[in-house]
Amino acid sequence: MLVILGVSESTCGYLLKGLSLVAKLCLSQNGLLTDQARKLLRGIGTDSRRVIRSLKLTPDAHSYVCCPKCFACYLQTSDDSYPNKCIYKKTPSSEECGRNLRKVRIIKHTEHSVPMQRFIYHEFKEWLGEILCRPGMEDMLDRDVSPNKHGIMRDIWDAPELHNVMGTDGKPFICRDGSEGRYIFSFCMDGFNPFQLKQAGKKASVVGMYMICLNLPPEERYKLENMFLVGIIPGPHEPKKEEINHLLSPLVDDLLDSYRHGVWYSRTQNYKSGRYTRCVLVPVVCDTPASRQVTGRTSATSTHFCPYCTLPHNEINNMDQDTWCLCTDVDHRSCATEWLEAGTETERDMLFARHGVRHSELLRLPYWSPIKHTMIDSMHLFYLILFKHHCTDIWGMDSEIDNGDSTTADPVLPALLSSVDVQRAFIALRREPFERLGVFKAQTLKVLVNSQGINVKGVKKSVLLAILKEHVSDYRFFTS
């Protein structure tokens, strides 16, 4: 019930006790139980945790005490394995965080010292071992991933980048001799509201970190049983800036060991005598804020807005590709190292403002490219942004407005849905004499001008009217 239906441990315990009571009533004879009946009842159990341990349903994981302020992590092996207060320093000259890591909880009238919050890291090597023991999984993982011979790209393996990843021996990481299991993973991180936006006033966010094995066929990769849940970053707020590195560190340690030394499994489904495996993390697939944080870049609205070239934000409309100076992995790693070795927070801030790069734990992976291996997932890029913008803002599709016979299209801004003045001005522009626009305020006319893709600032009303007149035809709709 806990695993399949997702009910809590306390609820499972209550149901097990009820099941035990019903079984006791059914097995009793004149109020007495036979020895065989007592043995059967003991096998049912009343503690869901004992049942889960007996069936080995609990995943192997490491528990870290996580600082609620800076997200520094301390491995929890006992009650005395972590300090009472956070001792993390951002730089050698910085002060210690000092946030309390413990709180008192009363259990059965007894006070217990427990962590303020914990980060549970799912053991990657153990998870992969479980995957390799499942029937049929190795056959899919070891399938031929050669590019399409006709140059048609239907999958990520049809592109050259994954085949260009090098192993520790200087040869392509993906080899076809079958001596080792060579597996490539992608990484994803995204936040969500645990209250599902249903409780008014509840504003919280927790972050899930996942990995997908790209060796699996596309139809198998995203099944829940085949995805690796790295961990859930506790809320109620998300880690800021470089704080994410504390939570990435255990994963990077495992990936480094797997890449450099390999992991020996004494037995797998297809290799009864054991087999070595090596794993690498290549593409980071997140939305823009998450990808910038994981890779140690500035936001998309900062001066260094582009992760691929050095064009500043004030030249964002520069379409001359010859002036775009491309970023390189060498420069990125050099700037990240300089930031990491800075002695003060002020120096780090100056370097970050100058280069737009800070240290990321993923840079410890020698094969990982911060330029080539960072991408935006299609859901955020296309379905939630570009397609919506194109349909609503460019085509003017809106259920609240009569769009006519589709022979023309008007760009509809979000302001049209909230401002009565803009709505009236928009209708006047389409249907009434042009002089009618003179009764509207300059701010309202500016919205209409911006809808034509013309950015204006501090322009007088007479200039705005002149711009609108130039872009309006006799048919009373915007020209393209």
CA distance 276 to 181: 6
Identify whether 345 is part of a domain.
no
Given a cut of 70, is residue 378 above it in pLDDT? yes
Confidence class for position 112, pLDDT limits 50, 70, 90: confident
Residues 141 and 41 in one domain: no
Residues 45 and 153 in one domain: no
CA distance 475 to 434: 12
Describe the chain by its helix, strand, coil percentages, rounded to 5: 40, 15, 45
Confidence class for position 262, pLDDT limits 50, 70, 90: very high
Residues 114 and 170 in one domain: no
C-alpha torsion 21→27→30→33, nearest 10: -90
Confidence class for position 106, pLDDT limits 50, 70, 90: confident
Given a cut of 60, is residue 105 above it in pLDDT? yes
CA distance 411 to 398: 10
Given a cut of 70, is residue 57 above it in pLDDT? no
pLDDT tens digit sequence for 121-163: 999 999 999 999 999 999 999 998 999 888 888 899 999 999 9
Confidence class for position 437, pLDDT limits 50, 70, 90: confident
Residues 184 and 258 in one domain: yes
Q: What is the mean pLDDT of residues 81-94?
A: 91
Q: Count of domains in the chain?
A: 4
Q: If you search the block for the tokens 């972590």, which residue do you land on?
A: 82
pLDDT, residue 453, reads: 65
Q: What is the mean pLDDT of residues 196-218?
A: 78
pLDDT, residue 197, reads: 54
10 Å CB burial of residue 256 (0-12, 13-18, 19+) is middle
pLDDT tens digit sequence for 314-332: 888 888 888 999 999 999 9
Identify whether 390 is part of a domain.
no
Q: What is the mean pLDDT of residues 289-298?
A: 90
Identify whether 238 is part of a domain.
yes
For residue 121, the cross-strand partners are: 62
Q: What is the mean pLDDT of residues 63-84?
A: 91
Residues 14 and 147 in one domain: no
pLDDT, residue 227, reads: 94
Given a cut of 70, is residue 457 above it in pLDDT? no
Identify whether 349 is part of a domain.
no
Q: What is the mean pLDDT of residues 193-207?
A: 65
Identify whether 412 is part of a domain.
yes
Identify whether 388 is part of a domain.
no
pLDDT, residue 418, reads: 56
Identify whether 394 is part of a domain.
no
C-alpha distances (whole Å) from 319 to each of 82, 104, 110, 371 are: 54, 60, 69, 21
Given a cut of 90, is residue 409 above it in pLDDT? no
Identify whether 223 is part of a domain.
yes
What percent of the chain clears pLDDT 90, i.e. is strictly above it? 41
Query: Of 8 and 342, which is predicted with more confidence?
Result: 342
SS3 of 230-283: the string is: EEEECCCCCCCHHHHHHHHHHHHHHHHHHHHCCEEECCCCCCCCCEEEEEEEEE
Q: Which residues are CB-contacts of 211 (< 8 A; sequence separation ≥ 6)?
A: 124, 185, 186, 187, 188, 227, 228, 230, 281
pLDDT, residue 42, reads: 72
Residues 208 and 255 in one domain: yes
Residues 201 and 244 in one domain: yes
Query: Of 291 and 408, which is predicted with more confidence?
Result: 291
Lowest mean per-residue pLDDT among 54-63, 99-108, 112-121, 357-366: 54-63
Lowest mean per-residue pLDDT among 182-191, 194-203, 349-358: 194-203
Query: Of 399 and 17, which is predicted with more confidence?
Result: 17
The number of beta carbons lying within 10 Å of the beta carbon of residue 65 is 21
Question: Quick one: which of 269, 265, 299 has its CA closest to 279?
Answer: 265
pLDDT, residue 2, reads: 53
50 membership: H or E segment, kind and range:
helix 48-54
Given a cut of 90, is residue 15 above it in pLDDT? no
DSSP character string of 141-199: HTS--PPPTT---SSGGGSSGGGG-B-TTSSBS--SS-SEEEEEEEEEEEEE-TTTT-S
Residues 411 and 462 in one domain: yes
Q: Which domain holds residue 44?
A: 9-54
Residues 252 and 366 in one domain: yes
Provide the whole-model pTM. Answer: 0.74
Residues 251 and 196 in one domain: yes
Residues 83 and 187 in one domain: no
Lowest mean per-residue pLDDT among 243-247, 331-335, 352-356, 388-392: 388-392
On average, the pLDDT of the chain sits at 83
pLDDT, residue 476, reads: 45
Cite the beta strand spans of 266-330 per DSSP E.
275-286
325 membership: H or E segment, kind and range:
none
Residues 151 and 202 in one domain: yes
Q: Are 141 and 279 in contact (CB under 8 A)?
A: no
pLDDT, residue 389, reads: 74
